């Protein structure tokens, strides 16, 4: 090999390496495809949650009677839960 061929060979190797670096491998494409799929599914999930939020936001109004009934039911549920807890503690202390 002469000195003239050596720089040409080096330039050719450099050109081939540059060409290789400009193309994506199958693995890189698969990774990018996976990321795009994740982004698309995240976008769909976000749109679905926004739609659900909008639907819920239009249904959040209640009348005073509905609110009163809900508070009444919750009050009795809390009272019943307190009675059950007190009864369980009494039974535990008595039979333990």
Reported as a single tens digit per residue, the pLDDT across 27-56 is 776 777 777 777 778 788 888 888 887 777
The answer, yes or no, to whether residue 58 has pLDDT greater than 60, is: yes
Residues 70 and 57 in one domain: no
CA distance 49 to 38: 16
Least confident piece of the model among 6-10, 11-15, 17-21, 60-64: 17-21
CA distance 9 to 78: 86
Boundaries of domain holding 93? 62-96
Q: Please indicate, yes or no, whether residues 56 and 71 belong to a single structural domain of this protein.
A: no
pLDDT class of 24 with cuts at 50, 70, 90: low
- Are 75 and 49 found together in one domain? no
- Rounded-to-integer distance, Cα 50 and Cα 55, Å: 9
Task: For the chain, give the percent of residues with pLDDT over 70.
Answer: 74
Looking at the structure, tell me whether residues 27 and 5 fall in a common domain.
Answer: yes
Per the CB < 8 A criterion, the answer to whether 24 and 32 are in contact is yes
Query: Which residue is listed with tokens 């060979």?
Result: 9
Residue 9 sits in the same domain as residue 51: yes
Find where tokens 């720089």 sit.
Answer: 7
The distance in angstroms from the start CA to the end CA of the chain is: 98
**Into how many domains does the chain fold?**
2
Same domain, 14 and 43: yes
Q: What is the rounded CA–CA span in Å between residue 11 and residue 8?
A: 5
């Amino acid at each position: 090999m002469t000195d003239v061929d050596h720089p040409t060979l080096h330039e050719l190797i450099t050109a081939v390496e540059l060409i290789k670096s400009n193309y994506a491998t199958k693995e890189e494409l698969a990774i990018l495809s996976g990321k795009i799929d994740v982004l698309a599914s995240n976008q769909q999930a976000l749109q679905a949650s926004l739609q659900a939020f909008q639907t819920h936001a239009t249904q959040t109004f209640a009348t005073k009677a509905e609110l009163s009934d809900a508070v009444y039911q919750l009050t009795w549920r809390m009272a019943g839960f307190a009675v059950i807890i007190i009864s369980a503690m009494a039974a535990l202390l008595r039979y333990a």
